[in-house]
Structure 1
């Protein structure tokens, strides 16, 4: 038997981190996943799928994910049934084994941009130093250059 599901989508809200009675972290979030085809109006329908993560993965998701983030989820499908007022509700959810962050969060993107700007400044300053050294070399060469000393070997 095989029960695997792989999804790529965006979080519809911030993840909720809770703890079970014995202290195990559990994180819930909802993923919006577009279908591969369009409907009659030319739009893509979207499925909203509940995701559950446990333990360290739950804490990482709660810490690093937020509404709108693009993630890939690998896990298994489970169906939870509940009854209320003589009515049975079927609640499908994915028990995630692995969650991949597929985009950069706002803070990480900002930090990355700052690091890139610092690298560019360092490169510009080293280029300016090299240019100054080359100018000094050229000036020395111009001062010591005598056209009569220049022999053509052919």
Structure 2
């Protein structure tokens, strides 16, 4: 089973929608995940997790999120494999986003500090869950 749940903060400077040659919309971004603190109370370095969202998910994230905004995602881990221009085999892990939520701790826009109601979003239809490797621009 390949399911991952992450809670962190958008760490990508600019959320920029992109399109494949076939016209499918996608968004690549990263989230910072806290690793807690040591015995002295000093925070461990966070992990930065690469994520990718497609179609409606990508549109939703680009519209409602920005750098520093809390996000909770559920998705699956995918490994990209390719050869670089020198013929070296390369790979990287990323999370393909299936579900998005605002964390309960996000503050509302008027600055009162009251937590907003959690907001989830899932696209309708099973066709959004299929990603064809031919849609990747690399």
TM-score interval w.r.t. the shorter chain?
Answer: 0.5 to 0.7
Q: 1:23 to 1:47 in 2, by over 3 A?
A: same
* Ranges of 4+ aligned residues in structure 1 off by more than 4 Å: none
Question: Which residues in structure 2 correspond to 1:80-119 (within 5 Å)?
Answer: 80-84=80-84, 85-102=86-103, 103-104=106-107, 109-110=109-110
SS at match of 2:63: helix
Q: 1:91 to 1:39 in 2, by over 3 A?
A: farther
CA distance in structure 2 between the aligned counterparts of 1:26 and 1:76, rounded to whole angstroms = 16
CA distance in structure 1 between the aligned counterparts of 2:38 and 2:17, rounded to whole angstroms = 35
SS at match of 2:17: strand
Count of equivalent residues = 108
Shift of 1:49: 0.7
8 Å contact kept, 2:35–2:43: no
CA distance in structure 2 between the aligned counterparts of 1:83 and 1:36, rounded to whole angstroms = 36
Q: Looking at both structures, which has the greater relative contact order when contacts are Cα pairs under 8 Å and sequence separation is at least 6? A: 2
Q: By percentage of residues, which structure has more helix? A: 1
Instruction: Give the superposed CA RMSD.
Output: 2.4
SS at match of 1:44: coil
State the partner residue of 2:17: 17
State the partner residue of 2:59: 59
CA distance in structure 2 between the aligned counterparts of 1:60 and 1:41, rounded to whole angstroms = 36
8 Å contact kept, 1:81–1:91: yes
Question: Which residues in structure 2 correspond to 1:5-154 (within 5 Å)?
Answer: 5-13=4-12, 14-36=14-36, 38=38, 42-84=42-84, 85-102=86-103, 103-104=106-107, 109-110=109-110
State the partner residue of 2:117: none
Structure index of larger Rg: 1
TM-score by length of 2: 0.68
5+ long unaligned stretches in structure 2: 113-138
